[in-house]
């Protein structure tokens, strides 16, 4: 960065700082919006930093913004200032005259200013730790410092007011939520149309049953629908995942895929490209080496380098992720470790506003069971508590002969768990594909209370017949 650019940026920063101070003493709406999120160390100039401190103290004490006169009086009472410093502060206060500024622009600019300053301060703090100047903290503290800085933002919402926000709630009920649909009928039934954003969804299965196949099939389907798909693998190589998705989308067995002539292969790839507006990124990490911090960094890097923002995220699979809270399982039991991973993944889903699809292993007893339950979740019974949707994939000799796998709902926040609790789907392991089967083939497995959706009947009394006032 040349000196001219640096000087320009410094001047802009000073202008923003002075504008913020002015609005803090002349615009109460602005002050109440931004004060909870601003810090004194965001102001580079000591004089302006002191003015900000006095504004903050005044608002905290009197619950209103100060006038210039009251600020001068408050500053005059400070014992840590010499005569020259006092005069400089008073001079700054006297420049804080009311000006007309677009409110939304002002808030957005202030928010960006706070974010930039927080990141800058975090970097300086990190360098101080690396240089050994901070005797209280080691390098392990740096990721947390940077994460906190990157999370800086304005959020004044204090929650949903049940009575005052009734209209907002009604609009929510009648807003069609954007979901990632399945290409499998019964999965759309049990999720009411697909996976909503900000959710964690988990497939439970034994080794070789079809966890990765399920996710590869779903990833291929999402790409076909024009969605941006990020597939993170901690078990198989990137090329192996891509190979499975090739077989799925090209409708060709994995064995035949290797014998496919280059021209035919190129034609099939061209057809896939033409048929979708989405992208699929497959990223491999060594087993147990990556956690949500790595995934978050990858998403940001993809946004910068490829202008790629995922619509859905696949994690293959949950149990072999690392945790940001623990360095390994040496000092913590598996229950707490896997629980932490699940909670961190769901937090990432909320942060990125996308659904996450992952998987977990069954216990040894669950692997041989034809009726897998929550008790068969490997390592941590806490997973079902964290997941929004959890289902088991079940295979046995009879189902294998029919080219089917059974699905059993274990946890469902989207729909009634008792409806369509069990069903079967077709599977073609050679082409890495799943498919719907004829409804009559579900008769022995689907719950007896399977019903079609009926028109609702509404109680028109004030509070409902069972209301007890």
SS3 string, the chain, reads CCHHHHHHHHHHHHHHHHHHHHHHHHCHHHHHHHHHHCCHHHCCCHHHHHHHHHHHHHHHHHCCCCCHHHHHHHHHCCCCCCHHHHHHHHHHHHCCCCCCCCHHHHHHHHHHHHHHHHHHHHHHHHHHHHCCCCCCCCHHHHHHHHHHHHCCCCCCCCCCCCCCCHHHHHHHHCCCCCCECCCCHHHHHHHCCCECCCCEEEEEECCCCCHHHHHHHHHHHHHHCCCCEEEEECCCCHHHHHHHHHHHHHCCCHHHHCCCCHHHHHHHHHHHHHHCCCCEEEEECCCCCCCHHHHHHHHHHHHHHHCCCCCEEEEECHHHCCCCCCCCCCCCCHHHHHHHHHHHHHHHHHHHCCCEEEEEEECHHHHHCCCCCHHHECCCCCHHHHCCEEEEEECCHHHHHCCEEEEEEEEECCCCCCCCCEEEEEEECCCCEEECCCHHHHCCCCCCCCCCCCCCCCCCCCCCCCCCC
When pLDDT is cut at 50, 70 and 90, the band that residue 107 belongs to is: confident
Cα separation, 82 vs 33, in Å, equals 33
Query: pLDDT tens across 396-419, in order?
Result: 888 888 899 999 998 999 998 888
Q: What was the pLDDT predicted at 437?
A: 86
CB atoms within 10 A of CB 283: 17
Where does the pLDDT of residue 371 fall: very low under 50, low under 70, confident under 90, or very high at 90 and above?
Answer: low
**Residue 270 C-beta-side C-alpha neighbours within 13 Å:** 6
pLDDT band at 10 (very low <50, low <70, confident <90, very high): low
What tokens does 246 get?
């090739």
The fold of the 185-442 domain, in CATH, is Rossmann fold (3.40.50)
Contact 290, 186 (CB under 8 A): no
Write the pLDDT tens digit of every residue in 125-136.
Answer: 889 888 888 877
Q: Listing from the earlier edge strand, what are the strands of the sheet with 229-233? A: 280-284, 229-233, 312-316, 356-361, 200-205, 389-394, 404-412, 422-428, 433-435
Residue with tokens 């005044």: 58
How many residues are there in the chain? 469
Question: How many Å apart are CA 360 and CA 4, to the nearest integer?
Answer: 55
Domain with CATH 3.40.50.300 in the chain: 185-442
- C-alpha 27, offset from chain centre: 35
> 446 or 66, which is more confident?
66
Alpha carbon distance 232, 415 (integer Å): 28
Q: Residue range 371-397: average pLDDT? A: 74
pLDDT-derived band at 377 (thresholds 50, 70, 90) equals low
What is the model's pLDDT at position 434?
Answer: 93
User: Could you tell me the pLDDT band of residue 250, with boundaries at 50, 70 and 90?
Assistant: very high
Higher pLDDT pick, 247 / 207? 247
The model's pTM is 0.64
**Residue 366 contacts residue 405 (beta carbons within 8 Å):** no
Beta bridge partners of 37: none
Q: Is the pLDDT of residue 325 over 80?
A: no
How many of the other CB atoms lie within 10 Å of CB of 42?
24
pLDDT tens, position by position, 201-224: 999 888 888 889 999 999 999 999
Question: Is it the case that residue 365 has pLDDT exceeding 90?
Answer: no
- Residue with more model confidence, 374 or 404: 404
What integer pLDDT is reported at residue 152 of this predicted model?
77
Q: Other CB atoms closer than 10 Å to residue 215's CB: what's the count?
A: 22
Residue 209: the pLDDT is 86
Q: Is the pLDDT of residue 381 over 70?
A: no
Quick count: other Cβ atoms within 10 Å of Cβ 114? 19
Q: Could you tell me if 391 and 410 are in contact, meaning their C-beta atoms sit under 8 angstroms apart? A: yes
Greater model confidence, 64 or 99: 64
- How many percent of the chain have pLDDT more than 70? 84
Q: Specify the pLDDT at position 148.
A: 78
Q: What band does 450 get if pLDDT is binned at 50, 70 and 90? A: low
- CATH value of 3-150 in 1.10.860.10, 1.10.10.10, 1.20.1730.10, 3.40.190.10: 1.10.860.10
What's the farthest any 2 CA atoms get from each other in the chain? 91
Q: Report the pLDDT averaged over residues 291-299.
A: 88
Q: Are 174 and 189 in contact (CB under 8 A)?
A: no
- Look at residue 358 and tell me whether its pLDDT is greater than 60: yes
CB 90 within 8 A of CB 72: yes
Residue 271 confidence (pLDDT): 93
Residue 468 has pLDDT above 50, yes or no: no
Q: pLDDT at residue 32 above 60?
A: yes
Band (461; pLDDT cuts 50, 70, 90): low
Q: Is 450 exposed, middle or buried (0-12, 13-18, 19+ CB in 10 A)?
A: middle
What is the average pLDDT across 245-263? 92
Percent of the chain with pLDDT over 90: 32
- pLDDT tens digits, one per residue of 48-84: 999 999 999 998 888 888 988 998 999 888 888 888 9
Average of per-residue pLDDT across 429-445: 81
pLDDT digits (tens, 9 = 90+) for 163-187: 888 888 888 788 777 899 999 999 9
- C-alpha span between 151 and 307 (Å, rounded): 21
The pLDDT of 128-148, averaged and rounded, is 80
CATH 1.10.860.10 in the chain, residues?
Answer: 3-150
- Cα–chain-centroid distance for residue 259? 40
């Amino acid at each position: 960065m040349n000196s001219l650019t640096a000087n320009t940026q410094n001047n802009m920063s000073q202008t923003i700082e002075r504008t913020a101070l002015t609005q803090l003493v002349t615009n109460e709406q602005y002050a109440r919006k931004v004060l909870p999120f601003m810090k004194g160390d965001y102001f580079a100039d000591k004089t302006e930093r002191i003015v900000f401190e006095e504004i903050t103290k005044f608002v905290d004490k009197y619950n209103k913004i100060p006038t210039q006169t009251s600020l001068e009086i408050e500053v005059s009472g400070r014992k840590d200032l010499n005569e020259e410093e006092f005069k400089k502060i008073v001079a700054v206060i006297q420049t804080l005259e009311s000006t007309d500024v677009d409110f939304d622009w002002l808030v957005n600019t202030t928010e960006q200013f706070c974010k930039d300053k927080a990141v800058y301060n975090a970097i300086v703090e990190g360098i101080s730790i690396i240089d050994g100047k901070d005797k209280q903290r080691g390098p392990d503290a740096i990721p947390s410092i940077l994460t906190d800085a990157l999370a800086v933002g304005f959020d004044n919402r204090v929650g949903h007011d049940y009575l005052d926000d009734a209209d907002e709630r009604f609009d929510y009920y009648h807003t069609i939520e954007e979901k990632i649909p399945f290409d499998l009928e019964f999965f759309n039934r049990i999720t009411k149309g697909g996976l909503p954003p900000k959710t964690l969804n988990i497939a439970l299965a034994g080794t070789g049953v079809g966890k990765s196949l399920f996710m590869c099939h779903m990833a291929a389907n999402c790409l076909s629908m024009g969605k941006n798909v990020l597939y993170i693998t901690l078990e198989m190589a990137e090329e192996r995942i891509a190979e499975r998705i090739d077989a799925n989308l090209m409708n060709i067995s994995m064995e035949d895929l290797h014998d496919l002539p280059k021209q035919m292969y190129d034609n099939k790839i061209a057809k896939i490209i033409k048929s979708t507006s989405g992208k699929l990124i497959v990223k491999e990490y060594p087993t147990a080496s990556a956690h949500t911090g790595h995934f978050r960094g990858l998403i940001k890097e993809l946004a910068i380098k490829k202008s790629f923002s995922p619509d859905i995220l696949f994690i293959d699979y949950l149990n072999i992720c690392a945790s940001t809270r623990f360095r390994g399982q040496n000092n913590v039991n598996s229950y707490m470790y896997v629980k932490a991973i699940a909670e961190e993944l769901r937090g990432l889903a909320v942060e990125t506003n996308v659904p996450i699809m992952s998987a977990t292993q069954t216990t040894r007893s669950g692997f041989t069971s034809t009726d897998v339950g929550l008790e068969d979740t490997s390592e941590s019974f806490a997973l079902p508590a964290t997941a929004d949707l959890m289902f088991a994939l079940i295979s046995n000799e009879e189902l294998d002969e029919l080219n089917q796998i059974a699905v059993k709902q274990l946890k469902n926040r989207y729909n009634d768990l008792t409806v369509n609790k069990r069903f079967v789907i077709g599977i073609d392991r050679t082409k890495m594909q799943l498919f719907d089967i004829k409804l009559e083939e579900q008769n022995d497995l689907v719950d007896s209370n399977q019903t079609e959706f009926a028109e609702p009947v509404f109680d028109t009394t004030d509070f409902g017949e069972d209301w007890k006032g």
